[in-house]
Structure 1
């Protein structure tokens, strides 16, 4: 049986001392998120995570979801009641606009809460995350009538939301989709086609499901330019807001899959279902990208959440499992063996996972805060800079955090030895659940391709130049701080690797784009390491400032030692990434396909 303890102290440290979120109290939404309010929110979210959501995690994995002959789907026992608590408690609408029933708090707070909920029960939290993503798309591109009709019920948890992109014959290449939309005399559309891999596509947890569906209107241009977005509810909504007849959308099957068994991954069949256009015809990807970008950051958060809960349980096991003796003298001479935590390689493994988790958590909140400030600011320069930053870092958050989160769950499982392969310990569930994160919302190879081929050269490299400039300024501004010297020296070296890699990739792109693309995954991870190193430098600085002010605690001591580990043992991996990038792609692209 696994356990979970929400990292409230670490989240408070990041919000209060590293990000200094209170400096934005002049902006709408931030003034209500005072320190006392944040403490109350995080504390209650921790209680829900530990006492309500996590006890259902194993049950959801074992019971899974069931599709019945009438195409309905039932969820694991307890999910319906738990989700009702989330809705009634205002957790889904935490950052939603108050005019639609939300609480208008910064998205940064929602991210902090979301990590806890996802660590506790990833399959259940997915319903909330997808619903919030659908709401985001409707708020930006939907009509006022659509917002009033759907958003309040979604923010309250009465209805959930989905995103419908993938079809049996097309995944990433959405320009190939065949789902059709035929306009009717009353302005609605008849949607016909099949969508696959739809998380939460059918269930008995809420009274309605609001599907956002990509489809092609008759006569639309070919390819991605001819795709439109439609809102297609499971049950039609009457003018007075009550529910009407069942729409012509049904669950053809649910996938039998590796993990996240508590969330049904559905095949949805649209057979002339009634839909309403969101935004304009042939501009569906603009609207869907709002949801997809939010989902990609959410997936990075999911991977971090699973890495965290896997780490916690592995660390607990390492402190209890007796096996072998410490070198030198026994650590527990009164026992038949010492706990395996005494062994250096066990500590190396756990410290590596912990160092990544804390930096990844910081990067997600750092990015969320940037986005919050931009959305609440009237300064166009801030909005432009934030759009650049989010465009550059979104594929990194999705790709790097999920690659490393998956590797960390495996490393945590390794701490159990053979017991990690046994269902009863729970370690293998974390491995199976996190495995989806590098795959969905754009597989990680696509994220790397997007970063190098699209985000890097955009506006003559304005985003990457701004990011490197920001890190350089931090290094220069803190160059006189002797206590921070190990961090600034290590970060300077890693940033130098990033500059060289950026120059090389740019040069490759002008001569042979395949050489640039061959190193795209390494470039994504190099940039990710620098971003995580930047987070550690800021966290170390904040911890040192608290110590200098007279605060002493095991938490701060552990923060400094964990940060030192990352700077010494993880950040130098940028040199390996750089060497691979500089090698080009000839030994990859010139290999005949038939030899594979």
Structure 2
């Protein structure tokens, strides 16, 4: 069975050596001293490794069962969920007034990576609840907040989001779920939703569904969509659980992965719902949850890559196979370990350089969210909005690729279920699809985010990279800032191509949108690696107590600059080929 060790040391490095969180002026960050964060991460890491991770294979093999209208989660899930709740982990970064611990979103992200890496399907139950709670916090009335948030913060009640219907996914303007106003101010919700993660289960006493529906007589299309709170059980005036609402499970979806999470078809039959936010402004309220969810999904891509990589490294060091071409490195054994072979090393270095760069990128993104929300910083808000499709799309694409590469290290054993490597690949696959498929993320990036506020935020990113390269272009840093500067030029070149061609031929821009999302991702990871190289060079120059750690960081940074970052040139060439190679073949010829 695969193992999992929480990457506490590397997270601490990013938090304190790279981001210098305790020195930040973001409210709440002064408390994030190294000893404090280490204590939290160590405790969360122990929970992830010892309690949550052992259930990963169990959840995959057993799945959830649906009998007589009741869903049962896999063996051990309920007990582990109670332990997670008792430790206060479900409300780590939710407001103290509703029972949370009020820590920065950054800490919730760091802990979330470890729990998701240990068991993605299990961690989704609290993850979906956190997103639903955030939407109620942002758009709910005082009464709605006091009614739902305390028990959602503790996960006594869990939450979901209900968007997709059998006939529409991304195009939510086509939805048919209806909301009929009632005399008491509530609504009757009728319709069917599919692909509802954690839609129903035995882990909580109530499930609070956030459901998109159309109020009769409202505007057509997406402008007529509203968001409603629809609890599984109605809530009495004293806050206790009351009568069963008109919401039921039609079936559990049979999925490729995340078997331990109950993904449901949900039926709403005159279910009582309560408007969240403003009529016909449901997408605005839902996107509070969706944006958080997209960052969380990007984190899932990173987390599955980390878990798969850890096991691939163990296997590569243990498995004896062949001899090193330069001479035996295990002369007393019948063969050398796999890790002596250059192609295995290439494979592992691809994974390692992605994972550590992605972790820095993700935590920097979480810091931007805190800066936006806690400091009311509009520039930080604009920058993280620009980065959200990159974080979601690039990290899940490359994270999935990393799990495949980890599986490849095992050779034939990677394809055999008893080794457990296929689960990482199967679980990671959904992250490229849900919360907005990655192709849609790319379209959002190119079609909307680049032009937001007149292109102010993408220009700010270019200036950020340019300024770093200018300040650190000499001496030992030149080998890192040189490739980064070229990669940034490739990104700017792609943006210029869109500006020159997008208006007269929109397909020219959209045909290159996916490549642009990846190009942007490589530049972001390049910036992270250049910044980490600077940190580790300074640490070595100042006499660090852990020179091996920082030398390894530099070696990995050099690998990324030499072997990964040059991909920006290829992606630029693909973008500049325009629409013709993509759009010329007639539809009937496919």
Mark yes or no: TM-score above 0.5: yes
- 1:492 aligns to what? 485
Q: How many Å apart are 1:370 and its aligned residue?
A: 1.2
Q: How many Å apart are 1:590 and its aligned residue?
A: 2.2
Matched, 1:396 2:385: no
2:422 alignment partner, one of 415, 428, 446: 428
Q: How does 1:567-582 map to 2 (within 5 A)?
A: 567-582=561-576
- 1:465 aligns to what? 459
- 1:558 aligns to what? 552
- 1:45 aligns to what? 44
Matched, 1:518 2:518: no
The answer to whether the 8 A contact 1:33-1:105 is kept is no
Matched residues in 2 for 1:479 and 1:418: separation? 46
Q: How many Å apart are 1:27 and its aligned residue?
A: 4.1
The answer to whether the 8 A contact 1:87-1:155 is kept is no
The answer to whether the 8 A contact 1:306-1:430 is kept is yes
The answer to whether the 8 A contact 2:131-2:292 is kept is yes
1:455 alignment partner, one of 449, 455, 463: 449
- 1:346 aligns to what? 344
Matched residues in 2 for 1:553 and 1:318: separation? 25
Matched, 1:28 2:27: yes
The answer to whether the 8 A contact 2:48-2:114 is kept is yes
Matched residues in 1 for 2:459 and 2:543: separation? 38
Matched, 1:10 2:10: yes
2:133 alignment partner, one of 132, 135, 143: 135
Matched, 1:545 2:538: yes
Matched, 1:59 2:58: yes
Q: How many Å apart are 1:554 and its aligned residue?
A: 2.3
- 2:176 aligns to what? 178
Matched residues in 1 for 2:439 and 2:316: separation? 34
Matched, 1:594 2:588: yes
SS of the residue aligned with 2:230?
Answer: strand
Gaps of 5+ in 1: none
Gaps of 5+ in 2: none
Matched residues in 2 for 1:147 and 1:508: separation? 48
The answer to whether the 8 A contact 2:168-2:175 is kept is yes
RMSD: 0.9
* 1:453-498 Cα distance to aligned partner (Å, 9 max, x none): 1111222211111111111011111123x11111110100101111
Matched residues in 1 for 2:397 and 2:256: separation? 17
- 1:534 aligns to what? 527
The answer to whether the 8 A contact 1:118-1:306 is kept is yes
Q: How many Å apart are 1:128 and its aligned residue?
A: 1.3
The answer to whether the 8 A contact 2:22-2:31 is kept is no
Matched residues in 1 for 2:32 and 2:457: separation? 30
Q: How many Å apart are 1:553 and its aligned residue?
A: 3.0
SS of the residue aligned with 1:511?
Answer: coil
1:417 alignment partner, one of 411, 416, 422: 411
Matched, 1:269 2:262: no
* 1:372-396 Cα distance to aligned partner (Å, 9 max, x none): 0221115xxxx22112111211000
- 1:241 aligns to what? 239
The answer to whether the 8 A contact 1:235-1:246 is kept is yes
The answer to whether the 8 A contact 1:54-1:121 is kept is yes
List structure 1 runs of 4+ shifted beyond 4 angstroms. Answer: none
- 1:209 aligns to what? 207
Matched residues in 2 for 1:510 and 1:272: separation? 46
Q: How many Å apart are 1:14 and its aligned residue?
A: 0.4
Matched residues in 1 for 2:446 and 2:326: separation? 51
- 2:435 aligns to what? 441
SS of the residue aligned with 2:387?
Answer: helix
The answer to whether the 8 A contact 1:32-1:105 is kept is no
SS of the residue aligned with 1:479?
Answer: coil
